[in-house]
Structure 1
């Protein structure tokens, strides 16, 4: 049976993270997206995520197969939102960045498991508002974030030498006084896990 979980990353994870990010870069290139093709995210950015305890690893059977950053706002790039408005611009929020899955593990709905856990972690930290941006040609990411209820809010510009324009999305969760486990379903991988029994 597969053991699947999310944990913080450490410096010894750097080679695996770099490879996973590179896999994501190649997937974006194959899809015709200029996102990440200017060299971002850099090794320095990845190290900064690790040292600030903002980087999370998706682990299957002790192997790092996915990565994402959960970064507290405010996000400087999000101050100038064009073509719309943030639904909640008063409360603190978390931004999801640098999401990548190892190319050998694609098609297994691991991105859904990763997002589910990221949102759970955020809620456990007291956040109910989340933001993310992606390129208009990154259809896979757009489908994923819409699946989780993120709403399109407008466009932002990021530090990308090839194409800085990004679609910006926001998720606003209501706790209604219920515990975290009632709001985020972490069982996306259960069918896959059950197959391995």
Structure 2
């Protein structure tokens, strides 16, 4: 398992995994992604915040990091935190517990970059997913309804979201 930064040459593969993830979300939950702007992914690549996991020289999983997230985390965004977004797994590798591997990798990355928290969010109401994130080491902080969603992907426009956090020592 190898973690590498994504490049512009990886964009089609990233969107293929996003499409797989969106289909899967529709099968197992009530909230699913509603597509992402290509320019947003290009920007995260340019900022060196789009990552992928390679397994046997195949694209197995992708995820994005952000260094701030004020629309979702509001006042807590002032804390030195790193945020995980848009985890998508190649169906061929589903069940490999990539989130657990991502969390361990991001914890080290966060400490190396002076961050004290690792955070993430997901659509609320999926107890199975909430419990999985808790099993990955996150503390469940509860549900929020976002006040301002301007600039966020479409799936944030409606609904409420569960927040998760790991405090690093």
Q: Where does residue 159 of structure 2 map in the other structure? A: 164
Higher relative contact order at CA 8 Å, sep ≥6: structure 1 or structure 2? Answer: 1
Instruction: Quote how far apart the aligned CAs of 1:35 are.
Output: 2.6
Q: Structure 2 CA distance, aligned partners of 1:161 and 1:145?
A: 19
Structure number having the greater strand percentage: 2
Is 1:66 the counterpart of 2:61? The answer is: yes
Q: Among residues 115, 135, 158, which one is paired with 1:147 in the alignment?
A: 135
CA RMSD of superposed structures (Å): 2.1
Q: Where does residue 194 of structure 1 map in the other structure? A: none
8 Å CA contact retained: 1:34, 1:162: no
1:43-96 CA-partner distances (Å, limit 9, x unpaired): 22221211111111001122211011111014222217xxxxx5xx65311111
Query: SS in structure 1 opposite 2:119?
Result: strand
Structure number having the greater helix percentage: 2
Q: Among residues 14, 17, 20, which one is paired with 1:17 in the alignment?
A: 14
Query: SS in structure 2 opposite 1:17?
Result: helix
Is 1:134 the counterpart of 2:122? The answer is: yes
Instruction: Quote how far apart the aligned CAs of 1:23 are.
Output: 1.0
Q: Structure 1 CA distance, aligned partners of 2:45 and 2:79?
A: 25
8 Å CA contact retained: 1:128, 1:172: yes
Q: Give the alignment's TM-score, normalised by structure 2.
A: 0.84
Higher alpha-carbon Rg: 1
Is 1:55 the counterpart of 2:50? The answer is: yes
Structure 1, unpaired ranges of 5+: 81-85, 175-197
Instruction: Quote how far apart the aligned CAs of 1:119 are.
Output: 2.0
Q: Where does residue 104 of structure 2 map in the other structure? A: 116
